[in-house]
Amino acid sequence: MMKSVAILAYTAGIVDGEGNICIAKQNKYNNSKIELRVTNTNEWLPQWLKMQFGGRVYLMKDSSRKPNAKDGFRWRVTARQAGKVLELLLPYLQIKKPQAEIALSFQKRRKSPSNKISETTKALDERDKLLMSQYNHRGK
């Protein structure tokens, strides 16, 4: 996935301003994966991100919003694909760099060929989830 510095820097700015990097619960067995998401009311931006980096674009409708509110569009990449994108963006991220580093650390532990997760890996995963939660916490 070769990208110009301009595209990577522009995308990092989008992620810093409009993006979300998280560790999301994947299934009922409590497996988790990293996710990179950007939501915007202009469909062009998520579609452009999809063209550049893959992933999917979803229409975000929220019935609790005001009747005249615009629909949102979300671009999302997960797991290994999100890790590849974050590795490319890492040198250019400013605000979300700590979250990207945590996500990449988490994702690197997923590369183990074994299905069994060691107690050390479980502890590191829990630490990363807690740190990510603290960075992503919205508050006053």
Q: How many domains does the chain have?
A: 1
Q: Quote the pLDDT of residue 114.
A: 58
Q: Quote the pLDDT of residue 118.
A: 81
CA 17/CA 39 separation, integer angstroms: 10
Residue position matching structure tokens 């700590």: 98
Q: Are 33 and 26 in contact (CB under 8 A)?
A: yes
Selection from 122, 112, 130, 100 nearest residue 30 by Cα:
122
Q: Quote the pLDDT of residue 137.
A: 79
Q: Quote the pLDDT of residue 67.
A: 72
| CATH code where residue 120 lies | 3.10.28.10
Residues 51-69 have pLDDT tens digits of 999 999 999 876 666 777 7
Q: Quote the pLDDT of residue 97.
A: 97
Structural domain including 67 reads 5-136
Task: Look at 103 and 69; give whichever has higher pLDDT.
Answer: 103
Q: Quote the pLDDT of residue 25.
A: 78
CA 113/CA 102 separation, integer angstroms: 21
Q: Quote the pLDDT of residue 68.
A: 75
Q: Give one DSSP letter per residue of the chain, joined into a string.
A: ----HHHHHHHHHHHHHHEEEEEEE-STT--EEEEEEEEESSTHHHHHHHHHH--EEEEE--TTS-TTPPPEEEEEEEHHHHHHHHHHHTTT-SSSHHHHHHHHHHHHGGG-S-S---HHHHHHHHHHHHHHHHHH----
CA 133/CA 135 separation, integer angstroms: 6
Torsion of CA 131, 135, 138, 140, to 10 degrees: 110
Q: Quote the pLDDT of residue 40.
A: 94
pTM, two decimal places? 0.86
* Mean pLDDT along residues 124-136: 87
Q: Quote the pLDDT of residue 71.
A: 84
